[in-house]
Amino acid sequence: MFEVLTPLAPDPILGLSVAYNEDSHPHKIDLGVGVYKDEQGNTPILKAVVKAQHKLLAAEKSKTYISPQGHQGYIDGMLTLLLSEKSQALRSNRVAAVQAPGGCGALRILAELIARANKNAKVWVSDPTWANHIPLIGSAGLEIQTYPYFDKATASINFDAMMDTLRQCTKGDVVLLHGCCHNPTGADLTNAQWDEVLQVAKEREFVPFLDVAYLGFGDGLNEDAYGIRLLTDNLPEVLIAASCSKNFGLYRERVGLAAIITKDTANKQIVQGQIQSVARGIYSMPPSYGGALVDMILNDEQLKHEWITEVDEMRNRMKSLRAMLVDQLAANGADRDFSFVNSQKGMFSFLCITPEQVREIRSQHSVYFVESSRVNIAGINKQNVKTLAKALVSVIK
């Protein structure tokens, strides 16, 4: 049977990791895979997570399945974090949600739910978007279209073109929006631009689909939630896929949330049953461990405060790394202005160099990142930033 299968091209990011590991260069630099790294290049376990692990170990009495929707404390805590305690959708009991195996799991569950509701729905994604959006959503059988988002020539959002395209959406279309810290570009909508998106969503009656993977890494937990809260407070239907991989550092625990803002409580009950049915058909029961940890952190004031402090520290460090890189590029004689890197947010930046230049910096200087020019800012540190800046300047002159 399997002899009919043909080889697939290697995943570009996973392939980079293999190449990096095989490189013997003593000063190689990995800016590919999107994980947070500290100054020593390690991906740390957050202190709040360590404390929650100890509490869970002492309190857990069984390894039986948890409920099909997941830990209710986790769901409630995440919804409050994303939507706020003042959320009209929460107060009016219009939110259906399940704990999912990571942000990827949440995206796929919601894509399957869309297909159940309208198999002919178009899903609009930004150009560019995170590469895995396409297979995760497209594999549910949904048609995918793109809207303009980022202009490499100006290193900025092409907002007019984006809005012109969104005005072509029809009722029932779904528009995927990055809640904050856009992956791969790091270029985020302003609050005023989110306001315009809301107006077009009302006019065209499309359904926003928010991917929230980096809450707190842009300007702050509440600041980063502006667009999320604006849309969920003012539209009848919104989809949210959230991840705890980055801001809780729970990459390998695969902790996510799939949530749907519904028109009313009666519809919420129907959607809750449908989304649990989707999950049942994919993985049956959700994993417990990571969700239990987030539940403990978000519902314990001391642990929550410690976690927020750690998120603030990670965000501020990444901002300082951006400034450091921009300064070093200028100091090494870069013949173009890279100050746009300072205005980008979160873990990633688009350097706006060519694929040929990316390949050259990899082959000549052992600096690894994807050909789109997306770099993981958290892979930079005080020890490698000068080497990185010199290498970049050498290939762009």
CATH value at residue 377: 3.90.1150.10
Which phi and psi angles does 253 have, rounded to 5°? -85, -15
Average pLDDT over residues 122-148: 96
The total of structural domains in the chain comes to: 2
**Mean of the pLDDT values across residues 285-313?**
97
pLDDT level of residue 126 (50, 70, 90 thresholds): very high
CA dist 131 and 127 (Å) reads: 10
- The stretch 310-326 carries a mean pLDDT of 97
pLDDT at 238 over 90: yes
Q: Tell whether 295 and 308 lie within a shared domain.
A: no
Q: Give the pLDDT score at 342.
A: 97
Domain check: are 380 and 263 in the same one? no
- Is 194 catalytic? The answer is no
Token pair in block for residue 249:
């550092």
Residue 3's CB is within 10 A of a number of other CB atoms, namely 4
Which residue is catalytic, options 187, 188, 194, 246? 246
Beta-bridge partners for 218: none
Residues 179 and 218 in one domain: yes
Domain stop point among 299, 315, 342: 299
Is 249 inside a domain boundary?
Answer: yes
**Confidence bin at 14 (pLDDT 50/70/90):** confident
Does 11 have pLDDT greater than 80? no
pLDDT above 80 for 13: no
pLDDT digits (tens, 9 = 90+) for 189-231: 999 999 999 999 999 999 999 999 999 999 999 999 999 999 9
Q: Which residue has the tokens 């150009």?
A: 127
| Active-site residue, selected from the candidate residues 106, 121, 140, 213 | 213
Residue 17 has pLDDT above 90, yes or no: no
Quote the pLDDT of residue 198: 98
Regarding whether 215 and 71 lie in a shared domain, the answer is yes
Residue 155 belongs to some domain of the structure: yes
pLDDT for 12 equals 75
Give me the mean pLDDT over the 336-348 stretch.
96
48: annotated active-site residue? no
Q: Same domain for 159 and 274?
A: yes
173, part of any domain: yes
Pair (248, 151) in one structural domain: yes
Tell me the pLDDT tens digit for each residue of 156-188: 999 999 999 999 999 999 999 999 999 999 999
Can 391 be counted among the known catalytic residues? no
Look up the pTM and report it. 0.95
**Of the listed 124, 130, 194, 307, which one is catalytic?**
130
Amino acid at the residue 300: D
Q: Which of 34, 22, 37, 132 is nearest to 362 (CA)?
A: 22
pLDDT band at 293 (very low <50, low <70, confident <90, very high): very high
18-44 pLDDT, tens per residue?
888 898 999 999 999 889 999 999 999
Residues 247 and 357 occupy one common structural domain: no
Here the CATH number for the domain that contains residue 148 is 3.40.640.10
Cα 251 to Cα 98, 113, 231, 247, distances in angstroms:
19, 25, 28, 10
* Structural domain includes residue 74: yes
The residue out of 263, 283, 299 marking a domain boundary is 299
User: Could you give the CA distance from residue 287 to residue 281 in angstroms, rounded to a whole number?
Assistant: 15
> Among residues 211, 225, 241, 378, which one is catalytic?
211
> How much is the pLDDT for 20?
87
CA distances from 368 to 14, 18, 24, 238, 318 (A): 11, 11, 13, 37, 18
How many alpha carbons fall within 13 Å on the CB side of residue 253? Answer: 21
Does a structural domain hold residue 171? yes
Q: Catalytic annotation on 130? A: yes
Of the three residues 266, 283, 299, the one that is the final residue of a domain is: 299
Q: Is residue 38 part of a domain?
A: yes
Phi, psi angles (nearest 5°) of residue 210? -95, 125
Whole-number Å distance between alpha carbons of 240 and 78: 11
Q: Are residues 164 and 222 in the same domain?
A: yes
Question: Does residue 172 sit in the same domain as residue 289?
Answer: yes
Q: Is the pLDDT of residue 234 over 90?
A: yes
Q: 262 with 268: CB under 8 angstroms?
A: yes
Nearest alpha carbon to residue 130 among 159, 101, 150: 150
Same domain, 38 and 100: no
Is the same domain home to 368 and 281? no
For residues 222 and 108, membership in a common domain is answered with yes
Q: Domain of residue 340: give its range.
A: 10-44+303-396
Give residue 56's pLDDT band: very low, low, confident or very high (50, 70, 90).
very high
Q: Packing angle between helix 385-396 and helix 355-365, nearest 10 degrees?
A: 130
Residue 70 domain-assigned (yes or no): yes
In a domain, 5, yes or no: no
Share the mean pLDDT of the chain: 96
Please report where in the chains the tokens 């297909």 appear, as a residue: 115
The total of other beta-carbon atoms located within 10 Å of residue 89's CB is 22
